[in-house]
């Protein structure tokens, strides 16, 4: 009579439900605006949307003051609180890795009898595309070359002297450090940050029966108060972080896609084209969110991962294949060997790398964690904690190592073997045009026109997958954890993201937005640390 | 004339379904055929239930209550969807096929401009299944 007779946990007992008087949606307002129905959380929806509009208006009315303030705020945060970010990052890695080896690893998200909702491939494609797909496009070439030659992590000398002449004896160490220092930013640490948030949400939603909202993870700490203003503040912060993170990325992504289009087709690189790109990206994202998780987001993520894999294989085969294989091994070993030194929060002298890159990245990953973590949680039901952590932490880290070895390794090879003619050297070391670094590397390989075009397509589609999954997440949070709120609401958020990105791109507020992303990272670091304790409490009370 | 009747229900708004439920019950009595109430839910906790199993219990209780009230044979079927807001139509089409229903009785709203953007659930069922679709407008 029903297709739910197997694989679904019993409503009580086995899954360790939390008993609370709170009913999901009890604070929601259901209304009809014209032909469209609404089902929104009061006050999370109104406060989030209102403050975001206020922020955009202030940034546009006082552009200079905003630029000055946020220009100061971002480095001030990443340099003053660098040790907080690094220390917290280490705690997240140790906590999640430790869970793999404890008996808690066998607890299943969704109850003992739950079966996974998605196949490994669909699941992995979605979490990877949402998690960092676009970053790999932007930083895959830039970062390894930059760390090898400029930022000098752990004091590793550059392979070039001040006049740009190669110093052969520095080459090997710098090359390995370039890869290791990049892998550090894209490996275990960011994925541990995502895993903490995702695990907390999945556990408290699927096993404890609380709404799929960030506040739910704080039930062991705040008790029933989590449904009041404490919880509102946590959820509003999560909405800010997600929307600011997405709009910043939309702005940066439009710039990179425009640079690529100029590089490939000679299309002018200006604000008009970038605004058209944002409208285009947002329109595709709208179609995707209306089609839903399975019909839109999942399909696009899988297409994306397939194209990315093809590009990876192409560069691997036509690039310096033997060197790439060697870089993969050496980069991984160097990462493991240098990990304690790279992740040391105290007494560092390589502040350019540690504060300018690591600290910034950690704040960035943390501010993105509500979005990516919630999305991962939503598609992770039915996995055991051990399976979840291995798949969210270790496999994406390995894929990142592979990506950096192929793209970064090829770029480094081009820089070192022909420094005079390398377009990568010209765009990363001699001058700094980060948005061109990927296309500069592809220029040194056969079929550059075709691969650069594919690169532009990938940049765009990666943004679509971030935009659509981000809209689903914001919609769920602002609907009080309901996943079946009326579709026009998610359309509103996806359009709102595009609109904020356009307004700020035109008004010059992207720097302010980046600073806001980092600013939300700091309080969220404390939120995530508290979540580790909440997860531990939650797992302890699960039947095993 | 008909063999099985399917009635999509939103348990959270069951109070707005009275007209459709009575119509389905009357048709069930007339043709002496069973009614299957279909509810679509997510695997995440929602206002009606913490999980699909709990939702199913509530749906079955609802079906039983309808059976007692109208003296008809009823069943309940829960469809779990990853994204019920966007995939409701697909879930209902699937349910029509799985229950082998040949008549769907469902509540509908007053048509408005949004129907031009989002086709109505009933319209979608009529175009994607072989079942007859009876749309009941609340009085």
pLDDT attached to residue B115? 58
Q: End-to-end CA distance of chain B, in Å?
A: 27
A236: domain CATH number is 1.20.1730
Distance of CA B33 to the CA centre of its chain: 16
A148-158: string of b/e by CB count within 10 Å (b at 16+)? Answer: bbebbbbebeb
pLDDT attached to residue B111? 59
B15: domain CATH number is 3.40.50.620
Judge contact between A216 and A208, C-beta under 8 A.
yes
Helix ranges restricted to H, A141-228: 142-146, 168-186, 188-202, 219-222
Q: Is the pLDDT of residue A43 over 90?
A: no
Q: Which secondary-structure segment (H or E) carries A124?
A: helix A120-131
Q: Which residues contact A102 (CB under 8 A, 6 or more apart)?
A: none
Q: What are phi and psi of B100, to 5 degrees?
A: 55, 40
- Cβ distance of B56 and A4 shorter than 8 Å: yes
Determine, yes or no, domain membership for A12.
no
**Pairwise CA distance, residues A82 & A348, whole Å:** 11
Residues in chain A: 544
pLDDT attached to residue A96? 96
**Pairwise CA distance, residues B36 & A200, whole Å:** 37
Q: Is the dihedral of CA B42, B45, B47, B52 positive or negative?
A: positive
- Cβ distance of A25 and B78 shorter than 8 Å: no
Determine, yes or no, domain membership for A312.
yes
Which residues in chain B have Cβ-Cβ distances shorter than 8 Å to A295?
86-87, 90
Per-residue pLDDT band for A265 (boundaries 50, 70, 90) equals confident
Residue B135 β-bridge partners:
B106
Per-residue pLDDT band for A5 (boundaries 50, 70, 90) equals very low
How many cross-chain Cβ pairs, A to B, lie less than 8 Å apart?
115
Q: What is the mean pLDDT of residues A248-269?
A: 84
Q: In chain A, whose CA is at the least distance from the CA of B116?
A: A35
> Residue A131 is encoded by which pair of tokens?
């998690």
pLDDT attached to residue A523? 86
Q: Is the pLDDT of residue B101 over 90?
A: yes
pLDDT attached to residue A13? 41
Number of domains, chain B: 1
pLDDT attached to residue B117? 58
Q: What are phi and psi of B33, to 5 degrees?
A: -125, 155
- What is the least distance, in Å, from the CA of A172 to any CA of chain B? 50
- Cβ distance of A484 and B114 shorter than 8 Å: no
Determine, yes or no, domain membership for A255.
yes
Largest CA distance in chain B: 40
Which residues in chain A have Cβ-Cβ distances shorter than 8 Å to B55?
4
Question: Strand locations in A211-282, DSSP E?
Answer: none
- What is the least distance, in Å, from the CA of A470 to any CA of chain B? 14
Judge contact between B55 and B39, C-beta under 8 A.
yes
- Cβ distance of B86 and A15 shorter than 8 Å: no
pLDDT tens for A297-317 read 888 888 888 899 999 999 999
Q: What is the mean pLDDT of residues A502-530?
A: 80
Per-residue pLDDT band for B114 (boundaries 50, 70, 90) equals low
Determine, yes or no, domain membership for A20.
no
**Pairwise CA distance, residues A402 & A324, whole Å:** 9
Which residues in chain B have Cβ-Cβ distances shorter than 8 Å to A110?
43, 51
Of the candidates A116, A26, A47, A68, the one whose C-alpha atom is nearest the C-alpha of residue A515 is A68
> Residue A435 is encoded by which pair of tokens?
């948005």
With pLDDT > 70 as the criterion, what percentage of chain B qualifies? 91
pLDDT tens for A123-156 read 777 777 766 667 788 889 999 999 999 989 999 9
Q: Residue B23 is part of which domain span?
A: 5-136
pLDDT attached to residue A508? 66
- What is the least distance, in Å, from the CA of B32 to any CA of chain A? 19
pLDDT attached to residue B61? 94
Lowest mean pLDDT among A363-377, A490-504, B104-118: B104-118
Side-chain-side CA neighbours of residue A6 (13 Å) = 2
pLDDT attached to residue A94? 97
**Pairwise CA distance, residues A11 & A497, whole Å:** 38
| Mean pLDDT of chain B, nearest integer | 87
Residues in chain B: 139
Q: Is the pLDDT of residue B112 over 80?
A: no
Question: Does residue A365 have a cis peptide bond before it, meaning omega lies within 30 degrees of 0?
Answer: no
Residue at token pair 């309940």: B76
- Cβ distance of A3 and B98 shorter than 8 Å: yes
- Cβ distance of A2 and B78 shorter than 8 Å: yes
More confident residue, A293 or A392: A392
**Pairwise CA distance, residues A412 & A415, whole Å:** 5
Q: Which residues contact A451 (CB under 8 A, 6 or more apart)?
A: A311, A314, A315, A442, A445
Which residues in chain A have Cβ-Cβ distances shorter than 8 Å to B53?
4, 8-11
CA A500 vs CA A46, A327, A477: distances in Å: 16, 41, 19
**Pairwise CA distance, residues A538 & A99, whole Å:** 13
Which residues in chain A have Cβ-Cβ distances shorter than 8 Å to B86?
289-293, 295-296, 487
- Cβ distance of A4 and B47 shorter than 8 Å: no
Of A11, A205, A212, the CB nearest to B54: A11
* Chain B: residues touching A (Cβ < 8 Å): 12, 42-47, 49-57, 75-80, 82-87, 90, 98, 112-115, 118
- Cβ distance of B87 and A487 shorter than 8 Å: no
Provide the ipTM. 0.72
CA A482 vs CA A211, A505, B48: distances in Å: 7, 32, 11
Number of domains, chain A: 1
More confident residue, B25 or A520: B25
Of A295, A379, A487, the CB nearest to B118: A487
Other C-beta atoms lying within 10 Å of the C-beta of residue B26 = 13
pLDDT attached to residue B96? 95
Q: Which of A188-197, A231-240, A365-374 has the highest mean pLDDT?
A: A188-197
pLDDT tens for B51-96 read 888 889 999 999 999 999 999 999 999 998 888 888 888 899 999 9
CA A340 vs CA A146, A343, A417, B20, B134: distances in Å: 21, 5, 31, 66, 68
Residue B106 β-bridge partners:
B135
Q: Which secondary-structure segment (H or E) carries B40?
A: strand B35-41
| Mean pLDDT of chain A, nearest integer | 86
CA A223 vs CA A6, A12, A309: distances in Å: 32, 20, 45
Q: Is the pLDDT of residue A34 over 70?
A: no
pLDDT tens for A365-412 read 888 888 888 888 888 888 999 999 998 898 888 888 899 999 999 999
Determine, yes or no, domain membership for A23.
no
Q: In chain A, whose CA is at the least distance from the CA of B84?
A: A484
**Pairwise CA distance, residues A320 & A326, whole Å:** 10
Q: What is the mean pLDDT of residues A104-124?
A: 83
Of the candidates A344, A308, A303, the one whose C-alpha atom is nearest the C-alpha of residue A455 is A308
Q: Residue A32 is part of which domain span?
A: 28-540
Which residues in chain A have Cβ-Cβ distances shorter than 8 Å to B43?
8, 110, 117, 206, 381
Of A209, A291, A484, the CB nearest to B42: A484
- Cβ distance of A4 and B75 shorter than 8 Å: no
Q: Is the pLDDT of residue A9 over 70?
A: no
Judge contact between A472 and A490, C-beta under 8 A.
yes
**Pairwise CA distance, residues A37 & A285, whole Å:** 21
């Amino acid at each position: 009579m029903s297709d739910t007779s197997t694989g679904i946990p019993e409503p009580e007992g086995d899954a360790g439900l939390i008993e609370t008087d709170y009913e999901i949606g009890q604070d929601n307002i259901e209304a009809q605006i014209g032909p469209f129905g609404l089902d929104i959380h009061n006050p999370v929806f109104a406060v989030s949307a209102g403050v975001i509009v206020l922020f955009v208006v202030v940034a546009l009315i006082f552009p200079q003051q905003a630029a000055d303030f946020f220009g100061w705020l971002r480095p001030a945060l990443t340099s003053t609180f660098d040790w907080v970010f690094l220390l917290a990052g280490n705690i997240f890695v140790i906590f999640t890795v430790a869970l793999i080896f404890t008996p808690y690893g066998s607890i299943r998200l969704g109850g003992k009898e739950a079966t996974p909702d998605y196949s490994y491939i669909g699941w992995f494609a979605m979490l990877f595309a949402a998690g960092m797909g676009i970053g790999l496009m932007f930083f895959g070439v830039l970062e390894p070359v930059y760390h090898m030659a400029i930022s000098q992590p752990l004091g590793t000398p550059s392979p070039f002297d001040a006049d740009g002449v190669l110093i052969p004896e520095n080459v090997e160490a710098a090359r390995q450090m370039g890869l290791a220092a990049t892998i550090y930013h894209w490996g275990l640490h960011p994925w541990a940050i995502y895993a903490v948030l995702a695990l907390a949400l999945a556990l408290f939603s699927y096993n404890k029966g609380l709404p799929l909202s960030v506040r739910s993870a704080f039930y062991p700490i705040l008790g029933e108060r989590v449904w009041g203003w404490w919880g509102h503040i946590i959820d509003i912060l999560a909405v800010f972080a997600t929307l600011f993170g997405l709009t910043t990325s939309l702005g940066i992504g439009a710039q990179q896609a425009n640079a690529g289009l100029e590089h490939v087709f000679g299309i002018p690189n200006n604000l008009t084209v970038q605004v058209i790109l944002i409208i285009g990206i947002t329109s595709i994202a709208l179609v995707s969110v209306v089609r839903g998780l399975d019909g839109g987001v999942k399909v696009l993520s899988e297409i994306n991962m397939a194209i990315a894999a093809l590009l990876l294989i192409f560069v691997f085969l036509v690039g310096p294949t033997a060197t790439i294989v060697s870089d993969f091994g050496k980069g991984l070993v160097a990462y493991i060997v240098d990990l304690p030194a790279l992740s040391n929060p105290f007494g560092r002298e390589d502040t350019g790398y540690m504060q300018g890159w690591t600290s910034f990245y950690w704040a960035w990953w943390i501010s993105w964690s509500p979005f990516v973590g919630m999305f991962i949680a939503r598609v992770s039901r039915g996995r055991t904690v051990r399976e979840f952590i291995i798949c969210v932490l270790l496999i994406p880290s390995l894929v990142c190592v592979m990506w950096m070895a192929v793209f970064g390794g090829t770029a480094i090879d081009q820089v070192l073997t022909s420094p005079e003619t390398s377009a990568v050297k010209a765009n990363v070391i001699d001058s700094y045009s980060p948005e061109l670094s990927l296309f500069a590397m592809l220029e040194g390989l056969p079929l550059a026109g075709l691969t650069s075009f594919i690169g532009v397509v990938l940049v765009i589609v990666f943004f679509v997958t971030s935009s659509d999954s981000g809209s689903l997440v914001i919609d769920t949070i602002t609907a009080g954890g309901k996943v079946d709120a009326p579709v026009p609401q998610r359309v509103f958020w996806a359009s709102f993201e595009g609109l904020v990105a356009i307004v700020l791109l035109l008004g010059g507020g992207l720097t302010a937005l980046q600073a806001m992303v980092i600013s939300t990272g700091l309080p969220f670091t404390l939120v995530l640390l508290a979540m580790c304790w909440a997860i531990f409490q939650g797992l302890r009370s699960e039947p095993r | 004339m008909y063999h099985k009747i399917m009635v999509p229900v939103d348990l959270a708004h069951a109070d707005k379904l009275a007209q459709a439920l009575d119509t389905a019950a009357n048709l069930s009595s007339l043709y002496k055929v069973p009614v299957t109430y279909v509810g679509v839910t997510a695997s995440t906790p929602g206002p009606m239930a913490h999980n699909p199993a709990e939702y199913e219990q509530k749906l079955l209780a609802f079906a039983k209550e309808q059976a007692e009230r109208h003296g008809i044979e009823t069943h309940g079927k829960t469809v779990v969807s990853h994204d019920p807001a966007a995939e409701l139509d697909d879930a209902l089409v699937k349910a029509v096929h799985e229950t082998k229903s040949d008549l769907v009785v469902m509540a509908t709203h007053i048509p408005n401009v949004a129907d031009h953007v989002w086709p109505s659930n009933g319209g979608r069922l009529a175009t994607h299944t072989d079942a007859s679709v009876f749309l009941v407008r609340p009085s």
